[in-house]
Structure 1
Amino acid sequence: MQLSAGKSWSLRRTADKNGLFKMASLDQIPPIVGPMAAFHGASEAPFDDVVTFKRLLIEQFQGYSSAMLLDPQFAVPGCIDALDASKGLFISLEDPSYDLVANNERRSKSAESWSVGKIKRMGANAVKMLAWYRPDASAETNQHQQNYVMQVGDACAKYDIPFFLELLAYPLDSDSTLKADDVNRKERLRDTVLQSVEEFAKSKYQVDVFMLESPIEGSDAPGVGHQGEEHIQPVFEEMARLANRPWAMLSTGATMAEFNKIMSHAYAAGSCGYLAGRTYWLDTLAHYPDWSAMQADIHQNVSYYIQELNDITDKMATPWSSHSCYSAPLEADRAFCSRYADM
């Protein structure tokens, strides 16, 4: 598998100098807008407050990050000037909402008036798209999700920009009888994650990097070198085998301690890094609208954990460029100008 010139260069921009992904997820909207709106007793949060919080996150996290994931609704128009130009930039494509159909099935869509072409035009290094997916959803919903991912993959190939696909499971109405400690619930999470990766690893989707949730709940991850590892590690190894390309782990709401344990399993299986967001900043919103307290909370309580995660990443992660799927080098000859396609 050979990377195009544009995708290869942009992937280098999103990783650190050693080819590791240390990415900050700052594109979330509902988890920020919801608490702020509730504080004001309003249906919407003040636009300027959302921008101020995202700017605070950028300023606090970018020193630890190789790349920043921003949204086009608030962070890009309100905070892009705060972003260190030496950092990689990737922009979310999907609408934070989604269409709901029977059985609580979710169908993803792009943000209104937003596109892969616009993300490329503004100079971003990669496109991030979230696909909600349940292999056991209806054939119609799964076909919709598959078609949407294929369309995004085609557009990313056209504009020669890396495609980062975020896959997330979600509850269906039919899951309502499963309790939190139900063995069937844990097995369903594992199977959903693995089957979703298997589907979207097919070449027709043209995914360059996977961003994956843990197939194991954070509370069940003992960490590499601890008792119970032999039951957990094979699941991460299977996920890596199915992905068959560079992949990063999502924090997906795990506690900071849990996420570090999850990452040790992921790195032992060949993960290239992480995308962390709410795990590190969600509790900070409890101090809203005391901006000084919010800044202090991040600086005093969060920075240590990010540095700890980066230390684990430096020691254990696999550089994206060393993945076997990208073993073919870029063709170097005098025909490059004619061979390299225009948009």
Structure 2
Amino acid sequence: MTTLSAGKLWGLRRLADAKGRFKMLAVDQRPPIKNPIMTIRGTAEAPYEDVAGFKLMLVEELQAETSAVLMDPHFALPRGLSVASPAKGMVVTLEDSIFRETATGRLSDEIDDWSVEKIKRAGGDAVKVLAWYRPDADPANCRAQEDFAKRIGEACQAYDIPYLFELLVYPLPGEAEQTKDYVEMAAKQADNVLESVRRFADPAFGIDIFKLESPVPAKGIGEGTDAATQKLFDEMGRIAGRPWVMLSAGAGMAEFEAVLKHAYAAGASGYLAGRAIWSEPFKAFPDWDGIRSGLRQTSLPYVKRINALTDQSATPWFETPLYGGKAGIAHADASFRHSYAGMGGA
């Protein structure tokens, strides 16, 4: 049995359903929500009430079918905390959606005036961080992103909270598909995805859950996908070496469902997804009644469908090879209070 600290064990249990599978809804997106609103409103910035109102509606309408909800501190958390079910886990975003585009690649930063400590104090059950990463980028860029991830991992260990780490490959300067939107690269190479996971699987980063993209473009996955695609998913799961979930990266409903089938066959423990679930109803903006109706008639049945797939095929997080069927804490006896480090301790 691999032991965990008390806070990390409790946090992982909070994020999963009673059987250890992750069914997590993402409402932390910023550009994918703000940009369409700006276009429709014809404004230089998306009105706060529009963005926060949509996120609040997502929590209200969809949380019943989730095991946890991912919220950002700008819009979702301030409004969502008053309506979020205390029976559901809460993941909170730390990375800024505005990344630095340099001549050697993208660099990530934390949201200003936000920290692992504040997430813990606010009641978060896990810290989520997205890092753009290309293993074939300039070595200095790779080191900067690795240092960013490691620094947060150390803080999560100090404050005893699970670290949920998301990886996305992206086009380097001079390559095709240049965009600042959060979209999947249609021409991404599986080797870049797998090597990225390999680098961050090092225990030095302190990652508890990986949130991973498909190693091949989602649009190319279907019922007739050959065994080579499954082999790539299998390898990704092997490399991850800990519980992992799939992100949707803007894939359509059918595409994401196909991705999940491959991921679950490779040992994934669930999903953390947003746009695949709510993007269709969001097209009705600014018709709020239309959005709510779409969430109930389209998104909710979809969530129930992928939840059924998750129940049937996903691997409970504690049954992944790292834990081997049982996860517990060290010193699970009268010595616990003496051995357990306080917040901020080593």
TM-score by length of 2: 0.93
* Unaligned 5+ runs, structure 2: 179-184
**1:295 maps to 2:296:** no
Which residue, out of 232, 252, 260, partners 1:235? 232
Residue equivalent to 2:315: 318
Find the residue that maps to 2:4 and give its secondary structure: coil
Shift of 1:107: 0.4
Q: Which amino acid aligns with 2:89?
A: G
DSSP 3-state at the match of 2:114: coil
Q: Deviations over 1:258-291 (max 9, x none)?
A: 1111101100110000011011222333221110
How many pairs align?
Answer: 333
1:108 is aligned with what amino acid? S
| Displacement after TM superposition at 1:38 (Å) | 1.6
- In the TM superposition, residue 330 of structure 1 has moved relative to its aligned partner by 2.2
- Residues 188 and 285 of structure 1: is their aligned pair in 2 closer, same or farther, counting only changes over 3 Å? closer
Whole-angstrom distance in 1 between the partners of 2:279 and 2:167: 21
3-state SS of paired residue (2:222): coil
**Alpha-carbon deviation of 1:187?**
7.6
Change in 2 beyond 3 A, CA 1:38/1:208: same
Asked whether the 8 Å contact 1:93–1:115 carries over to 2, the reply is yes
| Contact 1:25–1:275, Cα closer than 8 Å, also in 2 | yes
The one-letter code sitting in structure 2 at the alignment partner of 1:268 is A
1:208-261 deviation line (CA, Å, top 9, x unaligned):
0000000021222234xxx44312111011001100000000011111001111
Aligned partner of 2:269 among 268, 272, 278 = 272
Matched, 1:40 2:37: no
Q: Distance in 2 between matches of 1:147 and 1:228?
A: 37
| 1:181 matched residue in structure 2 | none
Deviation of residue 177 (structure 1)? 8.7
Cα distance 1:177–1:29, how it changes in 2: closer, same or farther (>3 A)? closer
**Worse-matched range after superposition: 308-317 or 293-302:** 293-302
1:174 Cα shift? Answer: 3.2
* Structure 2 CA distance for partners of 1:177 and 1:208, relative to 1, 3 Å: closer
1:306 aligns with 2:307: no
Q: Distance in 2 between matches of 1:140 and 1:193?
A: 19
One-letter amino acid of the counterpart of residue 76, structure 1: L
Q: Is the 8 A contact 1:209 1:247 kept in 2?
A: yes
Matches of 1:265 and 1:187, distance apart in 2? 20
Partner of 2:168: 168
Q: 1:187 to 1:298 in 2, by over 3 A?
A: closer
What is the CA deviation profile of residues 149-200 of structure 1, one whole-angstrom value per residue up to 9, with x for unaligned ones? 000000000000000000011112232299xxxxxx8784211110000000
Q: Which residue of 2 aligns with 1:82?
A: 83
CA RMSD after TM alignment: 1.6
Task: State the Cα deviation string for residues 301-326 of structure 1 (Å, max 9, x = none).
Answer: 22221111011000000000112212
Aligned to 2:214: 214
Q: Which stretch of the first structure deviates more once superposed, 88-97 or 287-296?
A: 287-296
Gaps of 5+ in 1: 179-184
2:263 corresponds to which letter in structure 1? A
1:244 is the counterpart of 2:241? yes
Q: Is the CA contact (8 Å cut-off) linking 1:67 and 1:87 kept in structure 2?
A: yes
SS at match of 1:324: coil
Q: Is the 8 A contact 2:188 2:217 kept in 1?
A: no
Correspondence 1:22 to 2:23: yes
Q: How far, CA to CA, are the matches of 1:15 and 1:207 in structure 2?
A: 17
Could you tell me which residue of structure 1 aligns to residue 182 of structure 2?
none
State the alpha-carbon separation in 2 of the partners of residues 4 and 263 from structure 1.
30
SS at match of 2:44: coil
- Structure 1 match to 2:329: 330
**Counterpart amino acid of residue 329 in structure 2:** L
When residues 187 and 30 of structure 1 are mapped into structure 2, their CA distance, relative to the original with a 3 A threshold, is closer
C-alpha distance 307-143 of structure 1, shift in aligned 2 (>3 A): same
User: How many angstroms apart in 2 are the aligned matches of 1:191 and 1:276?
Assistant: 23
Q: Is the 8 A contact 1:24 1:67 kept in 2?
A: yes
Partner Cα separation in structure 2 for residue 222 and residue 43 of structure 1? 39
Tell me by how many angstroms 1:62 deviates: 0.3
Residue 191 of structure 2 is matched in structure 1 by 191
Aligned partners of 1:3 and 1:326 also within 8 Å: no
Is residue 73 from structure 1 mapped to residue 96 from structure 2 by the alignment? no
| Structure 2 counterpart of 1:109, one-letter code | D
Q: Which residue of 1 aligns with 2:60?
A: 59
Find out whether 1:3 has 2:11 as its counterpart: no
TM-aligned CA distance change 1:164 to 1:234, over 3 Å: same
Are 2:203 and 1:203 aligned? yes
Q: Mark the CA change 1:298 to 1:177 in structure 2 (over 3 Å): closer, same or farther.
A: closer
Distance 2:90 2:144 in 1: 28
CA distance in 2, matches of 1:67, 1:311: 16
Q: Using the alignment, how far apart are the partners of 1:149 and 1:259 within structure 2? A: 27
